[in-house]
């Protein structure tokens, strides 16, 4: 069953039934001001940091779910009936309900009793505000008198504190109301220089800023007393819960349409110009008023919306493909790309599953996110990589996370996740391949954010590599530390205390437990680093990296191979994990996927065997699970992984982040059919028809789909903010379609399904537009390329020597 449909032409997903299995959200904003918005107008907004600068309230874990949002109510002032055009919070039965989630905007609307209303929500580029454009049309044969109420609930900035520190917070709320604008200024009198505002373009018949006055006692947002009465009370909040609510009265002739613009925004004043008059406690509004006035004008709002459209048009235009598969096209051309930008912007902070008060930016997560967005925002990717590297420790180790506001490593979580540093090499390498900007390697970059410790970025890469080499275990495999990619495989933790963090508790000295996955990652990173070194003519150094890689491959072959697949790890007692000798957890995806992706075992049959074992033991119709058999009980020596019930999360769930590793591995063996088959199994669009089971949004990837051991096999969770976005994008674009960035230029090496006659694509790359067409003439993966009509040798298209800006590349697959 579906709850809507794709509108590919407009790059929208159109939800036509409001009671989706979960809130189906979208993101507003792309630079500093952000919001999440659900299909029924739920969600919240924040400036830069979802924890520390939360503008509006949202109630996670609420019943009914998805409570708190950008709510509009309409009231028929004759019949006194009121409803919400976005369905929530009143939940009236609506006609023609639709929610169009598009690129950086959402339009929600419906018709009720002949009154049609739509609200378009978006954040203009380069502004710290959001616009709600509400359009109301009277479809009745008679005149209508309609009261419009727009409302939000302010958050007292720090979302964590806001949800817990009531003894203080219920006394500090402050607002000002001036000229149809409500200002929320809690703590502005003292140490803050910022405030929020909520403005209406049409004169207000009334307002409310105190929640209880608006809702009435013991009432919820579904039935505000003031809306029911048809009259707001002009309340001024002193303490308690400040809100913003505007009432605008409209008399509409039959067929008449009116528009109201509401603007919700954030503003910072210079410290010495906070008050007007100086010495008073009144907000100085001289700097903010022109901004508010500008966007309350519908024409300015429309123009800002056009610019937002152009922005996305230009980002998405960098790569577009036309393949025989609609689900591939839709994800590659629209939604997967869009999701990659969301993960880059948000990291893992704010979604329906991430409360915005949890994690900072993950070191490994952020490096992997680069893979999916570096072609769109190379300058921001560069900045992100340098920020990440600046938190690296002098040992080459990494803080597991850093805080976006301070850009410092997070001491609470610390480091010791031994895969972390290697991802920096992959991130920087992806940047170099995309941009050819070698200057990044010379950028002076501190260690542990300490001024004076700066060394060229390149040295950070060297230390990352050495970090692994200096931490090898009894078999010569990399020591795992607190965890590797799998945050929940905690081999040095041995926790028996409820609530203790599996990630930061370490009971063992860490000198025994080893990771075959890190070995695979090391091999891949070592090859990338060697390629970078040799382009810098550091040939001896490059050779030494390749030497270390070759040695690691030998160790993997000797101690990391289980006969039919790669082992996963050795635990603190030196006992195998992910082996046929194990009772549970005999085979894992991470080590098998990544070792083959890194090229281990390609020539001696191990790679093929490992992939066959994945297909046999781990692949399901809903994707490839993490391991089998699932752990059925808690193992002290394994950590959080065995704390999850079988089939969920890292305990044998389908972790969608890992599936593309196997897809890429399959392409390395030339298996286009298998690679694309795996791709389709977790492709959200291809799963749209089973939305009732899948439950999450059909337009973006979820972190996890319940595995076959779970009662809810096939049900997705943790949509949007996951490394799944970048990796699936990278797998389909660079390895299956094979439009691949390399240090030397753009490579075309498709490994596509046998029954595809080919595909076409355009790629803007280093200032040139490549118009690519691939035609299949035989069953294999050998490609012969002609560039502007002349055959070339090899797969890498040379950059045009004569300054041509458009190049045609034709490939024949045989």
Catalytic residues: 487
Does position 416 interact with ligand GLC (CB under 6 A)? The reply is no
Stretch in the footprint of ligand GLC (CB under 6 A) among 124-132, 305-313, 361-369, 805-813: 361-369
| Stretch binding ligand GLC (CB under 6 A), from 76-84, 483-491, 616-624, 775-783 | 483-491
d(CA 357, CA 349): 7
Contact letters for ligand GLC, residues 320-359 (x by CB under 6 A): ----------------------------x-----------
> Does 485 sit near ligand GLC (CB under 6 A)?
yes
The minimum distance between CB 362 and ligand GLC, in angstroms, equals 5
The one segment of 451-459, 482-490, 507-515, 550-558 that binds ligand GLC by CB under 6 A = 482-490
The residue (of 622 and 657) whose beta carbon lies closer to ligand GLC is 657
Q: Judged by CB under 6 A, does residue 112 bind ligand GLC?
A: no
**Of 683, 593, 582, 687, residue with least CA distance to 641:** 582
722 forms part of the interface with ligand GLC (CB under 6 A): yes
Residue 363 and residue 417: Cα distance in Å, rounded?
10
| Closest CB to ligand GLC among residues 269, 703 | 703
> Which residue in 682, 660, 549, 557 sits closest to 607, CA to CA?
557
486 belongs to the binding site for ligand GLC (CB under 6 A): yes
Residue closer to ligand GLC by CB (options 274, 649) is 649
* Residue 496 C-beta: closest distance to ligand GLC, Å: 18
The minimum distance between CB 29 and ligand GLC, in angstroms, equals 22
Residue 384, Cβ neighbours under 10 Å: how many? Answer: 23
Q: Which string of DSSP letters, residue by residue, matches 562-607?
A: -SSSB--EE-TTS-EESSTTSSS--EEHHHHHHHHHTTTTSSSSHH
3-state SS, residue 583: coil
Give the pair of three-digit tokens for residue 695. Answer: 């439950």
- Region 364-383 residues binding ligand GLC, contact defined as CB under 6 A: 364-365
Tell me which stretch binds ligand GLC (CB under 6 A): 171-179, 310-318, 362-370, 743-751: 362-370
Residue 180 or 719: the one with the smaller Cβ distance to ligand GLC is 719
Q: Which residues pair with 4 in a beta bridge?
A: 15
Using an 8 Å Cβ cutoff, are 492 and 480 in contact?
Answer: yes
Residue in 200, 278, 281 with CA at minimum distance from that of residue 245 = 200
Tell whether residue 807 is a contact of ligand GLC (CB under 6 A).
Answer: no
Q: Decide whether 39 or 486 has the Cβ nearer to ligand GLC.
A: 486
Return the residue of 136, 252, 370, 488 that touches ligand GLC, per CB under 6 A: 488
**Residue pair 480/513 in contact by the 8 Å Cβ criterion:** yes
Size of the site for ligand GLC (CB under 6 A): 16
With binding defined as CB under 6 A, does residue 703 bind ligand GLC? yes
The nearer residue to ligand GLC, 72 or 624, going by C-beta atoms, is 624
CA distance 757 to 324: 8
Q: Can you point out the beta strands (E) in 497-651?
A: 514-515, 569-570, 576-577, 587-588, 619-620, 623-624, 627-628
Residue 442's contacts (CB-CB under 8 Å, 6 or more residues apart) are 456, 457, 458
> By C-beta, is 559 or 657 nearer to ligand GLC?
657
CB of 489 to ligand GLC, least distance (A): 8
CA 653 to chain centre: 20
Q: How far is the CB of 652 from ligand GLC (least distance, A)?
A: 13
- What CA–CA distance (Å, rounded) separates 520 from 310? 41
Nearest CB to ligand GLC, comparing residues 486 and 524:
486
Q: Least distance from C-beta 468 to ligand GLC, angstroms?
A: 17
362 binds ligand GLC, rule: CB under 6 A: yes
Nearer to ligand GLC, 69 or 360 (CB): 360
Pairing of strands 716-719, 702-705: antiparallel
SS3 call for 379: helix
Member of 325, 369, 434, 487 binding ligand GLC (CB under 6 A): 487
Contact 751, 670 (CB under 8 A): yes
585: left (phi over 0), alpha (psi -120 to 50) or beta: left
Question: Minimal CA–CA distance to 150: which of 79, 62, 249, 55?
Answer: 249
Paired tokens of 115: 């009154």
Asked if 20 is part of the footprint of ligand GLC (rule: CB under 6 A), the reply reads no
Q: How far is the CB of 643 from ligand GLC (least distance, A)?
A: 9
Six token digits for residue 742: 């390399």
Nearer to ligand GLC, 362 or 698 (CB): 362
Q: Is 354 helix (H, G, I), strand (E, B) or coil?
A: coil
> In the stretch 495-534, what mask flags binding to ligand GLC with x, by CB under 6 A?
--------x-------------------------------
If DSSP codes are grouped into helix, strand and coil, which group holds residue 564? coil
Give CA–CA dist 807/757, Å, rounded: 22
Residue range at the interface with ligand GLC (CB under 6 A); choices 118-126, 241-249, 279-287, 481-489: 481-489
| Closer Cβ to ligand GLC, 364 or 606, answer by number | 364
Question: Which sign does the torsion angle of CA 140, 121, 20, 90 carry?
Answer: negative
Q: Which of the ranges 8-16, 108-116, 387-395, 484-492 carries the binding residues for ligand GLC, by CB under 6 A? A: 484-492
> 3-state class of 175 per DSSP?
strand
With CB atoms as reference, the residue minimizing the distance to ligand GLC is 487
Nearer of residues 420 and 688 to ligand GLC, judged by Cβ? 420
Q: If binding is defined by CB under 6 A, does position 392 make contact with ligand GLC?
A: no
User: Which backbone phi and psi does 332 adopt, to 5 degrees?
Assistant: -65, -40
Contacts of 297 (CB under 8 A, 6+ apart): 201, 261
Q: Are 562 and 606 within 8 A, CB to CB? A: no
Tell me 490's DSSP state: -
Specify whether the CB–CB gap between 424 and 385 falls below 8 A.
yes
Residues 626-665, interacting with ligand GLC (CB under 6 A) = 640, 649-650, 657
**Dist. CA 653–CA 620, nearest whole Å:** 11
Q: Tell me if 586 sits within 8 A of 628, measured CB to CB.
A: yes
Q: Applying CB under 6 A, which residues contact ligand GLC?
A: 348, 362, 364-365, 485-488, 503, 640, 649-650, 657, 703, 722-723
């Amino acid at each position: 069953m579906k709850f809507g449909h794709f509108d590919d032409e407009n790059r929208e997903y159109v939800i036509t039934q409001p009671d989706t299995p979960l809130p189906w959200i979208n993101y507003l904003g792309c630079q500093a001001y952000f919001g999440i918005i659900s299909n029924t107008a739920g969600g919240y907004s924040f400036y830069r940091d979802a924890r520390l600068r939360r503008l509006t309230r949202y109630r996670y874990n609420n019943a009914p779910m998805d409570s708190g949002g950008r709510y509009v109510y309409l009231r028929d002032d004759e019949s006194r009936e009121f409803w919400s055009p976005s369905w929530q919070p009143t939940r009236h039965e609506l006609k023609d309900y639709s929610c169009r989630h598009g690129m950086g905007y959402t339009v929600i609307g419906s018709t009720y009793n002949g009154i049609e209303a739509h609200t378009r929500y978006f954040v203009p580029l380069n502004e710290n505000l959001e616009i709600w454009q509400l359009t109301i049309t009277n479809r009745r044969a008679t005149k209508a008198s309609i009261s419009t109420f727009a409302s939000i609930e302010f958050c007292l900035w720090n979302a964590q504190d806001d949800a817990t520190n009531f003894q203080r917070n219920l006394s500090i709320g402050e607002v000002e109301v001036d000229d149809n604008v409500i200002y929320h200024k809690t703590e502005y009198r003292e140490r803050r220089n910022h405030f929020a505002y909520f403005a209406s373009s049409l004169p207000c018949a009334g307002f409310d800023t105190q929640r209880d006055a608006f809702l009435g006692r013991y009432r919820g947002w579904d039935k505000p007393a003031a809306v029911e009465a048809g009259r707001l009370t002009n309340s001024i909040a002193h303490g308690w819960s400040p809100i913003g609510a505007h009432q605008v009265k409209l008399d509409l002739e039959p067929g008449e349409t009116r528009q109201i613009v509401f603007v919700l925004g954030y503003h910072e004043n210079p410290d010495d110009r906070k008050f007007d008059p100086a010495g008073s406690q009144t907000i100085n509004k001289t700097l903010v008023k022109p901004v508010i006035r500008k966007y309350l004008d519908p024409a300015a709002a429309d123009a800002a919306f056009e610019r937002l459209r152009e922005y996305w048009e230009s980002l998405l235009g960098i790569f577009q493909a036309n393949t025989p598969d609609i689900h591939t096209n839709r994800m590659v051309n629209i939604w997967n790309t869009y999701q990659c930008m969301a993960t880059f912007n948000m990291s893992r902070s704010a979604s329906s599953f991430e409360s915005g008060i949890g994690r900072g930016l993950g070191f490994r997560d952020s490096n992997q996110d680069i893979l999916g967005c570096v072609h769109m925002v190379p300058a921001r990717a560069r900045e992100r990589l340098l920020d990440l590297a600046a938190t690296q420790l002098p040992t080459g180790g990494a803080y597991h996370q850093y805080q976006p506001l301070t850009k410092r490593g997070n001491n609470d979580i610390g480091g010791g996740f031994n895969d972390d540093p290697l991802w920096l090499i992959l991130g920087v390498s992806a940047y170099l391949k995309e941009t050819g900007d070698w200057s990044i390697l010379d950028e002076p970059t501190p260690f542990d954010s300490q001024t004076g410790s700066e060394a060229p970025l390149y040295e950070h890469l060297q230390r990352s590599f050495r970090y692994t080499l200096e931490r090898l275990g009894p078999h010569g495999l990399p020591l795992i530390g607190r965890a590797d990619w799998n945050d929940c495989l905690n081999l040095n933790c041995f926790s028996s205390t409820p609530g203790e963090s599996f990630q930061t508790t370490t009971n063992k000295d860490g000198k025994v437990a080893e990771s075959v996955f890190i070995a695979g990652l090391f091999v891949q990173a070592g090859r990338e680093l060697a390629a970078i070194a040799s382009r810098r003519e550091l040939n001896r150094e490059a050779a030494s990296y390749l030497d270390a890689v070759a040695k690691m491959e030998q160790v993997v072959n000797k101690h990391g191979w289980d006969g039919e697949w790669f082992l996963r790890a050795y635990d603190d007692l030196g006992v195998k994990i992910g082996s046929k000798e194990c009772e549970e957890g005999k085979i894992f995806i991470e080590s098998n996927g990544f070792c083959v992706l890194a090229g281990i075992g390609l020539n001696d049959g191990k790679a093929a065997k490992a992939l066959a074992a994945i297909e046999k033991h781990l692949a399901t119709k809903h994707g490839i699970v993490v391991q089998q058999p699932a752990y059925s009980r808690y193992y002290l020596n394994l950590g959080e992984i065995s704390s999850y019930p079988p089939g969920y999360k890292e305990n044998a769930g389908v972790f969608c982040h890992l599936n593309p590793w196997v897809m890429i591995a399959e392409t390395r063996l030339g298996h286009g059919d298998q690679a694309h088959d795996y791709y389709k199994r977790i492709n959200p669009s291809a799963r749209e028809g089973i939305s009732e089971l899948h439950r999450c949004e059909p337009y973006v990837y979820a972190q996890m789909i319940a595995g076959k051991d779970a009662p809810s096999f096939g049900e997705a969770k943790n949509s949007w903010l996951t490394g799944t976005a970048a990796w699936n994008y990278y797998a389909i674009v660079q390895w299956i379609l094979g439009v691949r960035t390399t240090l030397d230029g753009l490579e075309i090496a498709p490994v596509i399904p046998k029954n595809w006659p080919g595909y076409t694509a355009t790629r803007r790359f280093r200032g040139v537009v490549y118009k690519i067409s691939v035609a299949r003439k035989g069953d294999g993966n050998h490609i012969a390329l002609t560039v502007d009509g002349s055959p070339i040798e090899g797969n890498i298209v040379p950059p045009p020597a004569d300054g041509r800006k458009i190049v045609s590349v034709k490939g024949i697959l045989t």
